[in-house]
Chains A and B, each alone.
Chain A
Amino acid sequence: MKHIKTINKANLKQSAEKGGCGKCQASCQSACKTSCTVANQKCERDA
């Protein structure tokens, strides 16, 4: 494409189909303790 560059490959919809295993860290336990930024958490499905 000449006018548009898509910078990510993942699609949230695909993540929903196999998601919800709950293995990931509770986001509030990470660094903030007051406000949530969930999108910076790691997926730990295979951890």
Chain B
Amino acid sequence: MIHKFFNNGMYIVLDVNSGGVHVVDELAYKLLDHISPPLAKDCPEQAITALSGEFSQQDIREVYSELYELYEQKILFSEDDYEKYALTAVASPIKALCLLVALDCNLRCEYCFAGKGDYGKGRTLMDIQTAKRAIDFLIEKSANRRMLEVDFFGGEPLMNFDVVKQTVEYARSLEEKYDKRFRFTVTTNGLLLDDEKIDFINREMYNVVLSADGRKCVNDRMRKRVDGTGSYDSFMPKFKKLAALRGDKEYYVRGTYTKYNLDFTEDIMSLYNEGFDQISVEPVIAAPSEPYALTEQELPAVFAEYDKLADKLRGLRAEGKHLNFFHFMLDLDQGPCAIKRLRGCGCGNEYAAVSPDGSIYPCHQFAGVEEYKMGSLNDGSFNTDMKLQFARAHVYSKPECSRCWAKFYCSGGCNANNYLYAGDILNAYKLSCDIEKKRLECALTLKAERLIEQGV
């Protein structure tokens, strides 16, 4: 399978199964419309006839021989033979937990997937006993995995900061005994940040995700305080301080765009101009009936905006400046292996979430969905059949994914979004897919431009 597209003056061909990326000329691009595997050594006459009005026969044959060379090298029309690996990770240990330490929030964001912070379950905080049991559970289920990940999430996790601190302390105290290393992350809206918390986060957290939507007017329209006023002025100085003190450690400013800010490049640039250079701004995922929801109608504008963003990034690069946009990051040589790419985030299999009452879910987005409760830390129950169901949710068990050119880049998308908006964890959520594919085309184009500049 190949995917080809034209972007910013460049003809790009992706060989899906090898991951080969080829920048081609117009003739090669058009010739690919007239040939399909298996390729013969000589150019098919019908392809020559079809293109000879536009190109010389000699050129067509010459281009064909180059395409045939790639085919022989198995980096064009290469075969899809990964399905045999699809069950490799079925018995995976659990290596990551999302701890919903606060089902409570000091913001009332309009688009919150978590029911304005409490997941529809009432406002509760996780106690330290439950958090410690979660760490014990992770150690027990992690088998031979040494690097373990714990994300403090909410609601707003800093509303339960003492438990965050004590959990980190507890987990660290077990590292040597069990030969494990914990990587902690936290996702915060920043309202409760102070010097003590910034210091703790910058010392202990491998990554920190700072939630902000961009321009003040855009942010404050959706990210409101409990009294209905905007949150921007409260968190922005604190985020700047945290990022400035963080040194080389990872962080992301992470925003959401909606129908209200289809010009989200302006929001990304606003965050950049405030001094942040690690930015992830994502489409809102919401029921189409919500006034802010993105629908198919908005897609042309969304696609054009990603092209505009790519142009902005080109401009910055030309000036010697750097902005890392999370969804345009792509490592074509040292990226994840094909097996990792078969099932994405690993939720319900390598990754799970724990709510304050000790319930275990496949991930934070399933929290509160009774049908997907996997077990409880209180009684030690854990549904291994459900774990198996998620382990088997790979790109070959998802019908749309198995036919899709982007499957090794998004790895089957978000199971929770599939369940909530397409009715089943195995049904691709088309709106997300369309946006992901556009982002990938932009990312591949930017990557190709940079590598060609570097003389590859």
Contacts and interface: CB of A to CB of B under 8 A. Distances in A.
B336 A3 contact: no
B173 interface: no
A3 B149 contact: no
Contacts, number: 220
A37 B17 CA distance: 17
B187 interface: yes
B104 interface: no
Interface string B324-368: 001101111111111111001111001100000000000111000
B66 A38 contact: no
B17 A20 contact: no
A26 B346 contact: yes
Range of interface residues on chain B? 35 or more
A16 B23 CA distance: 25
> A interface, by DSSP: helix, strand, loop or mixed?
loop
A35 B345 CA distance: 9
B149 to A, nearest CB: 5
Interface stretch (B124-132, B189-197, B315-323, B412-420): B412-420
A5 B456 contact: yes
Contact of A38 (B17, B62, B280, B344): B344
A20 to B, nearest CB: 4
Given A7-B21, A8-B19, A34-B285, A39 B335 contact: yes
B304 interface: no
Contact of B409 (A5, A33, A38): A38
A23 to B, nearest CB: 6
Given A28-B363, A37-B327, A22 B92 contact: yes
A4 to B, nearest CB: 5
Contacts of A47: 147
Contacts of A37: 326-327, 329, 409-410, 436, 439
Given A7-B456, A26-B346, A33 B153 contact: yes
Interface of A: 1-13, 15-16, 18-45, 47
30 contacts: A1-B66, A3-B28, A4-B63, A5-B24, A6-B22, A8-B451, A10-B332, A11-B20, A12-B338, A13-B74, A13-B78, A15-B339, A22-B340, A23-B146, A25-B96, A26-B346, A27-B411, A28-B345, A29-B207, A30-B326, A31-B252, A31-B254, A33-B254, A33-B364, A35-B283, A37-B410, A38-B410, A39-B409, A40-B330, A44-B147
Interface of B: 17-25, 27-28, 62-63, 66-67, 69-70, 74-75, 78, 81-82, 85, 88-89, 92-93, 95-96, 98, 113, 145-147, 149, 151, 153, 183, 185, 187, 207, 209, 252, 254, 280, 282-283, 285, 326-327, 329-341, 344-347, 350-351, 363-365, 408-414, 417, 432, 436, 439-440, 447-448, 451-452, 456
